[in-house]
Structure 1
Amino acid sequence: MAEIISSSYAARLEREQHLGEVREAARTLANRFPHAYWRECDKEEQYPWDFVKAFAEAGWMGIMMPEEYGGMGLGLTEAAVMLQEIGASGAGMSGASAIHFYVFPPAPILRHGSEEMKKRYLPALARGELLMAFGVTEPTSGVDTSRIRTRAEKKGDRWVINGQKVWSTNAQNATKYLILARTSPRDEKRPLDGMTLFFADMDRKHCDVRVIDKLGRAAVDSNEVFIDGLEVPEENVVGEVGKGFYYLLDGLNPERVVVGMEGIGIGRAALDLAVEYANSRVIFDRPIGKNQAVAHPLAECWMRLTAAESVALKAAELYDNFQPCGAEANTAKYLGAEAGFLACDQAMQTHGGYAYAKEYHIERLWREVRLLRLAPISQEMVCNYISNKVLGLPKSY
């Protein structure tokens, strides 16, 4: 028994050392881009290409891709830690999203694409040379994906797609578009059948891309895409026709874990700024951090962030060990988004009126982290999952 315990402890120690090295490397690289860089990207609505290039050159884009396709062959835990450090550097969602959308949207291709498709596209994605957009959400269907109206019709050896997507990230610059479209009518008994994934060219003759003017993360574009007669060859169908929605499900838990970790990272960035300000800002002949009304809320933020991180890392470890992690992944997303937003909001309170001044960077982090309570899944939908799948309560949606 003692030998087993000793071996387990050694493995755990080695794992923690490895994650520490990942953290340090990601942190060092992300910190090369200061708050001022992200403020300028946000102000000018400028895609952070220098940041993306730096991470691509260091190999991070392929962190979860197998080495045979040019990736690092690492797990969800390492990817989650990397994205947390990006958020914590002050990059916020502008930096996290820019890397996130290289790492996770290609997952259906990796798991279900043909070998030819994998060899053709995955190495370019791992090198950061291929930018893709993701088209699932539609303005009329919301979270009920079974009711999407974008359709693909087979014509000879090609498919022709017509429809509309919304909130497609990266579509202003993307050259490829992963699209979910209906290929057969909706069946009330099996509403999620009959949808297919296509890895299409972002052909501007057939894709009218319109940027959405939004609250935050202006550096990374969000778009409406109007698709009219977009042709896709048969070889660019991902997996089997009619099973596209189920392929998307494979990536839901990993994405929820990293979204939670991104929120935690942004919260830590805001907390660091607030603590620095609370120690240096002197009012009534004393630093404001000496007042419990300032100190205690910041302490609570630290505890919430730390607790959320523990759940997220547990979920990532379960996933990497091929264990069920739905409850933990959803919880990580919920708690990470809440803790991150609370920390940013409390940082605003700590700075007082100065929080509205962009030179303090708090308002940018606050605007960007708010997104995570809405997307990629709302907090209410997480509660639906936990109440139904974990607690066994009747389905409410």
Structure 2
Amino acid sequence: MQSTHDPYQDVRDAIRSLVAQLPGDYFRRVDEQNGYPEEFVHALTQAGWLAALVPQEYGGSGLGLAEASVIMEEINRCGGNAGACHGQMYNMNTLLRHGSKAQKERYMPGIATGELRLQSMAVTEPTTGTDTTRLKTTAVKKGDRYVVNGQKVWISRVQHSELMILLARTTPVDQVARRSDGMSIFLVDVKAATGKGMTVRPISNMVNHETNELFFDNLEIPAENLIGEEGKGFKYLLDGLNAERTLVAAECIGDAHWFIEKIVKYASERVVFDRPIGKNQGVQFPIARAWINLQAADLMRFKATSLFDAGQPCGAEANMAKLLAADVSWEAANACIQFHGGFGFATEYDVERKFRETRLYQVAPISTNMILSYVAEHVLGLPRSF
């Protein structure tokens, strides 16, 4: 189930070889311990894979989003979970695209080597959710500092990051022409901030995904850590989301491959009533439909990466790729766990773990309903629904 004319086969082979060096039950053990795959992330970092999108002038590989997406895909296809480290791949885009020359020279080389992990982006708040323009966290400039107060939620990988991107309102909403104006992006030194104005509270969840609630109480951030111009943070944020959504789409595509390969093998070998269960059309058809939908999601993923790498607008394609891929990974997950029967719920088969992991992408980093709203308004020209 792999094309013989794949231009990314070398990347795929390298990631598969790297994952194969870990014990067979590695990811299962990490999940059972509610741990973090330090050994795996370190291996990816040392091999330079997480610096794929960093330009060569800063020590990265300077690859395109297409290659980066294949890296994420293969991690999940091999049974891993790229969600533990994918932020390092795309969060730096905000700094790279909108940071000053001095900021990039100071931070990008360390991000490329992994010495500085920029895995975390603090945007979502408990009372606003995806209605980002109504966020309540404020950053007030006082001399050469910004003083931050507020709260964030579902902020991932803070405990495994040296740096964090923070979105806060610098101009009150009643003083701007549009709600999307007056927000700014800051680079936060996580270690310096923790316990000195920022409190990190872990959130236990069903996916073993390191995520947290953050509380800001007069956190001081040097003014030099402002990225770009004050008040244009929301625009900068949107600029980097196309890469995020496309890479997450690739992870879902990897998950879908894993589920389909797993259930095809099992259904071919599992004999009930003197015949392999894969001989039954009731089993065949859901798997075949998932495979067909996977091909469509894959095409949209590469359409999005092609536009992104060419510097062309790709918001619609990135969003559609994410929706198609998240839907097919969930479709394949359901077929896989259903046809494994009771064994699908046994941890040793890894199906239930991957089932939990891929369910997240119906909700994050953008829900499927938000994508439908985007397409309805921005592609089809329907009236704005909210």
- TM-score w.r.t. length of structure 1: 0.92
Pair 1:240-2:229 in alignment: yes
Percent sequence identity is 47
What are the residue-to-residue correspondences of 1:73-112 with 2, within 5 Å? 73-91=62-80, 95-112=81-98
Instruction: Return the letter of the residue paired with 2:172.
Output: P
Offset of residue 277 of structure 1: 1.1
Query: Aligned partner of 1:104: which letter?
Result: Y
Within the candidate set 169, 172, 181, 2:168 is matched to: 181
Aligned match for 2:116, one of 130, 133, 154: 130
Would the alpha carbon gap of residues 99 and 172 (structure 1) be closer, same or farther in structure 2, given more than 3 Å must change?
Answer: closer
Q: Does 1:262 align with 2:251?
A: yes
Inter-partner Cα distance in structure 1 for 2:306 and 2:15:
19
Q: Is the partner of 2:304 in helix, strand or coil?
A: helix
Q: Deviations over 1:336-358 (max 9, x none)?
A: 00000110110001101111111
Alignment deviations for residues 138-173 of structure 1 (CA, whole Å, 9 cap, x no partner): 001111111111111111111111111101111123
Deviation of the 1:31 alpha carbon: 3.4
Distance (Å, rounded) in 2 between the aligned partners of 1:151 and 1:40: 40
The answer on 1:117 being equivalent to 2:103 is yes
Letter in 2 for 1:135: A
Give the corresponding residue for 1:324: 313
What is aligned with 1:33? 22
What's 1:13 paired with?
Answer: none
1:50 equivalent in alignment to 2:39: yes
Q: What is the letter of the counterpart of residue 148 of structure 1? A: L
Within the candidate set 194, 206, 223, 1:204 is matched to 194
Structure 1 position 46, deviation (Å): 1.0
Deviation at 1:309, TM superposition (A): 0.5
Separation in 1, partners of 2:24, 2:240:
31
Q: What is the CA distance between 1:175 and its match in structure 2? A: 2.4
Shift of 1:17: 5.6
Matched positions, count: 377
Alignment equivalent of 1:191, drawn from 144, 154, 179: 179
- Distance (Å, rounded) in 2 between the aligned partners of 1:114 and 1:18: 35
Which residues of 2 match residues 156-175 of structure 1 at below 5 A?
A: 156-175=143-162
AA aligned opposite 1:325:
C
**For the residues of structure 1 that align with 2:360 and 2:84, how far apart are their CA atoms?**
15
Contact 1:271 1:298 in 2 (8 A): yes
On the 8 A contact 1:108/1:247 being kept in 2, the answer is yes
| Structure 2 equivalent of residue 304 of structure 1 | 293
Aligned equivalents of 1:212, 1:87: Cα separation in 2: 23
Distance in 1 of aligned mates of 2:160 and 2:15: 25
CA contact (8 A) 2:84 2:210 kept: no
* Partner SS state of residue 340, structure 2: helix
Note the alpha carbon deviations across 1:23-59, whole angstroms, 9 max, x for none: 2222322333355211111111111111111111111
Q: 1:243, CA displacement in angstroms?
A: 0.7
Q: Report Cα offsets for 1:306-341 as digits up to 9, x if no partner.
A: 111111111111111122222211110000000001
2:376 alignment counterpart: 387
User: CA, structure 1 residues 17+337, in 2 after alignment: closer, same or farther (shift >3 Å)?
Assistant: closer
Give, in whole Å, the separation in 2 of the partners of 1:305 and 1:145: 31
Task: Give yes or no for contact 1:30–1:85 (8 Å, CA) kept in 2.
Answer: no
- Which is worse superposed, 325-334 or 16-25? 16-25
**Tell me, what secondary structure is at the counterpart of 1:81?**
helix
Residue 228 of structure 1 aligns to a residue whose secondary structure is strand
C-alpha distance in 2 between matches for 1:341 and 1:185: 41
Cα distance in 1 between the residues matched to 2:152 and 2:22: 32
Corresponding position of 1:61? 50
Give unmatched runs, 5+ long, in structure 2: none
User: What amino acid does structure 2 have at the position aligned with 1:204?
Assistant: T
- Give the 3 Å change call, closer, same or farther, for CA 344–17 of structure 1 in structure 2: closer
Secondary structure of the structure 2 residue equivalent to 1:167: strand
The CA RMSD measured in Å over matched residues stands at 1.4
Distance in 2 between the 1:34 and 1:346 partners? Answer: 27
